[in-house]
Amino acid sequence: MNTFNINRNDTEGFRCRNMIALVLLPLLMLCVSRAQAQTNNNHLTLGVGWFLEGAVDATLAVEHSTRYHNAWEFFGNYYVQYEEDPVAGHITKQSFWHSYNSWHLGICYKPCVTRGRNHHGNFRVGASCGSDLDDFIGGIHLGYEHTYALYRGWEVFFQIKENVIIPRSANLFRTGVSIGFKIPLSGVK
């Protein structure tokens, strides 16, 4: 008949395993809590862009990141379409600022479609409303944005975008590219 007998080596092994578990459990909890570092961050976004129609724009936005690099963006945009001055034969200050311009306020949802170690790509879809200094205009915004993480929460992004402006303004379709920075508004976790 076998009797249950604990010898000295078994109890030391049991204590050693408990000690390892007690040390590793807080480390595991710390690792799990740090895995949420990219969730619920807010960024101030500054970007400038160029459009195929001979135009430039500037965008100021606040971006709120949600889970898995998805984000909501609340933005203000100023668009300037410039022309060549017929008298001077080139673009002048007057022909740049007084040709056609518009401003928009809007919102975009940006679901993540690709992600890597220090970068992620988002599809960008949204709507806006504003004015072209004569009339009310609305906009539908579509595009792709790729973001690269820099130091201490700063990010740089590149956008390819298509803006559909309704009712028809100087251009119905505005196709362009943008580059900009995302500046963290809260402390880096």
What is the per-residue pLDDT across 32-45, written as a single tens digit (0 to 9) for each?
A: 434 334 567 899 99
| Pairing relationship of beta strands 100-110 and 71-81 according to DSSP bridges | antiparallel
Supply the DSSP symbol for 151. Answer: G
Dihedral (C-alpha) 173, 179, 183, 189: value to the nearest 10 degrees? 100
- The mean pLDDT of 158-170, rounded to a whole number, is 84
Half-sphere exposure of 80 (CA within 13 A, CB side): 16
Q: Is the pTM of this model over 0.75?
A: no
pLDDT surpasses 50 at 31? no
Q: What is the pLDDT of residue 37?
A: 45
What is the per-residue pLDDT across 82-133, written as a single tens digit (0 to 9) for each?
A: 888 888 888 888 888 888 888 999 999 999 999 999 999 999 999 999 998 7
Supply the DSSP symbol for 115. Answer: E
Q: What is the pLDDT of residue 83?
A: 85
- Higher model confidence: residue 51 or residue 10? 51
pLDDT surpasses 60 at 28? no
Architecture of domain 42-184: Beta Barrel (2.40)
